Amino acid sequence: MGPTAGGKTAVALEIAARFPVEIVSVDSAQVYRGMDVGTAKPTAAERAAAPHHLIDIIDPTQSYSAAQFRSDATRLMREIAGRGRVPLLVGGTMLYFKALREGLSNLPQADAAVRAAIEVEAREKGWPALHAELARIDPATAARIKPGDAQRIQRALEVFRIAGRPLSALQGARVAAPAQYCFVPLALVPSDRAVLHRRIELRFEAMLAAGLVEELAALRGKYALNPNLPSMRCVGYRQAWEYLEGAYDRATLRDRGIYATRQLAKRQLTWLRAMEEPEIFDCLAPGLGMQVIDHLARQISTAGGGFGNGTP
């Protein structure tokens, strides 16, 4: 686990070169086909070096939830273990890690008709008006959601309209997490936030140079996209969308993309601080991959077993 630009992919590949693992992506943006540049997907060569899962599984017009991730990940973990290998979960979508380890609230499944009706209302009234409606029926949830956060407003209203109860009242009941696995949580955390920020700046500039805007323009030509889709709210794509709509110039796109990515990293680090005692590694340290590998080797030695024996 770790923030964006923290070097997770590189460390995962070093682990894969040493241990019989298969990588399960824990990234809510890399699930989308065609969104390659702005999500920093592993390259074809990197994917060839180790099996990867949960990348390029849906179109950008579709949605993917923490519940879907949990279902897919638990199935993959079982299959990988059945092959005598070890699932290595890698990514920065902390909600997915939390859902996998702690379970999920027992909420109703998404309903396309209800969502479509809410979207029609949003076009007519605006999301702030729907946020005001949410505040009347579920003030506790509305207080945690910004008036312009279309995705979360839509989900909260959808839950109320399907279940007849507010989201805040349903979130206490959780489905138990799978108990048959022993998780070894590893967190890559920067010792110097300023250095991470510089990495983020350089990486976003590299994404622009690699064709982020052009990639989005091609996706808009291929799919019926709109700015309220979860895929188009991903960091980088949201800013590129606004640039294509003429909201600002290229320099502003750069600045806003970097700022949004830094805010994402800040949220990821906040999640990490609240998670259950992961082993912390400085993602800026030289020899990071070997530090992680040495730690895993000690874990295996202490457990008296080894990877690849078919035991989860």
Q: What pLDDT, on the 0 to 100 scale, is given for residue 256?
A: 98
Q: How far apart are CA 264 and CA 95, in angstroms?
A: 13
Return the beta strands (E) in 154-229 as ranges: 174-175, 186-189
Buried/exposed 131-166: b ≥16 CB within 10 Å, e otherwise: bebbeeebeebbeebebeebebbbbbbbbbeeeeeb
Helix (H/G/I), strand (E/B), else coil: 43? coil
| 208-262 tens-digit pLDDT | 999 999 999 999 999 999 998 999 999 999 999 999 999 999 999 999 999 999 9
Q: What pLDDT, on the 0 to 100 scale, is given for residue 23?
A: 98
Q: What pLDDT, on the 0 to 100 scale, is given for residue 277?
A: 81
Residue 311 banded pLDDT, cuts 50, 70, 90: very low
Q: What pLDDT, on the 0 to 100 scale, is given for residue 194?
A: 97
Q: How far apart are CA 102 and CA 175, in angstroms?
A: 8
Phi/psi for 247 (5° steps) reads: -70, -30
**Tokens 């989308």 appear where?**
32
Mean pLDDT rounded to a whole number for the chain: 92
Give the number of other CB atoms < 10 A from CB of residue 35.
23
Look up residue 195 and give its two tokens: 């250095």
Q: What pLDDT, on the 0 to 100 scale, is given for residue 101?
A: 87
Q: What pLDDT, on the 0 to 100 scale, is given for residue 233?
A: 94
Residue 176 banded pLDDT, cuts 50, 70, 90: low
Which has more confidence, 267 or 111?
Answer: 267
Q: How far apart are CA 303 and CA 181, in angstroms?
A: 14
Question: Which residues lie across from 155 on neighbouring strands?
Answer: none
| 24-72 tens-digit pLDDT | 999 999 999 999 999 999 999 999 999 999 999 999 999 999 989 999 9
Q: What is the mean pLDDT of residues 160-173?
A: 85
Which has more confidence, 52 or 152?
Answer: 52
**Tokens 């955390």 appear where?**
189
H or E segment at 280? strand 279-282
Q: Are 245 and 220 in contact (CB under 8 A)?
A: no
Q: What is the mean pLDDT of residues 140-163?
A: 91
